[in-house]
Amino acid sequence: MTSNINGILPILHTPFDANDEIDRDCLKREIDWAFEQGSHGVCSAMVSEILRLTSEERIELNELIVEITAGRGSVVASVGAESTKQAVYFAKRAVDAGCNAIMAIPPISTALPLPALRDYFGALADAVPVPLIVQDASSYVGASIPTEFYVQLLDQYGPEKILFKPEGAPIGPNISDLRDASDGRARMFDGSGGMLLIDAFRRGVIGTMPGIDLLDGIAALWTALKNQDDATAYRIYFPICAIVALQLQAGLDGFLAIEKYILVKRGLFDTDRRRQPNSWSLDSETQREVDRLLTMLTDALAAT
Query: What CATH code is carried by the domain that includes residue 76?
Result: 3.20.20.70
Please state, in angstroms and as integers, the Cα–Cα distance from residue 145 to each residue in 6, 68, 134, 220, following that order: 22, 33, 9, 31
Among 113, 123, 99, 110, residue whose Cα is nearest residue 48 = 99
293 belongs to a structural domain: no
DSSP helix, strand, coil percent of the chain (3-state; round to 5): 55, 10, 35
259 belongs to a structural domain: no
> What's the confidence (pLDDT) of residue 46?
92
Among 241, 260, 261, residue whose Cα is nearest residue 200 = 241
Q: How far apart are CA 212 and CA 12, in angstroms?
A: 6
Cα Rg of the chain, angstroms = 18
146 belongs to a structural domain: yes
Q: How far apart are CA 191 and CA 171, in angstroms?
A: 9
Which residues in 130-252 belong to E strands, given as ranges?
A: 132-136, 162-166, 189-190, 207-208
Give me the amino acid identity at 64: L
The domain of 173 spans 7-218
207 belongs to a structural domain: yes
C-beta of residue 105 within 8 angstroms of C-beta of residue 136: yes
Count the domains in the chain: 1
CA quadruple 110, 172, 158, 143: dihedral, nearest 10: 0
C-beta of residue 290 within 8 angstroms of C-beta of residue 269: no
16 belongs to a structural domain: yes
C-beta of residue 196 within 8 angstroms of C-beta of residue 170: no
> What's the confidence (pLDDT) of residue 184?
98
When the pLDDT of each residue in the chain is averaged and rounded to a whole number, the result is: 96
Over residues 70-126, the pLDDT tens digits come to 999 999 999 999 999 999 999 999 999 999 999 999 999 888 999 999 999 999 999
90 belongs to a structural domain: yes
Q: Consult the annotation and say whether 209 binds a ligand.
A: yes
1 belongs to a structural domain: no
Residues of the chain falling short of pLDDT 50: 1-2
Mapped onto helix, strand or coil, the DSSP state of residue 84 is helix
Over residues 252-276, the pLDDT tens digits come to 999 999 999 999 999 999 999 999 9
2 belongs to a structural domain: no
Give me the amino acid identity at 125: A
pTM, 2 dp: 0.95
90 phi, psi to nearest 5 deg: -65, -35
> What's the confidence (pLDDT) of residue 2?
47
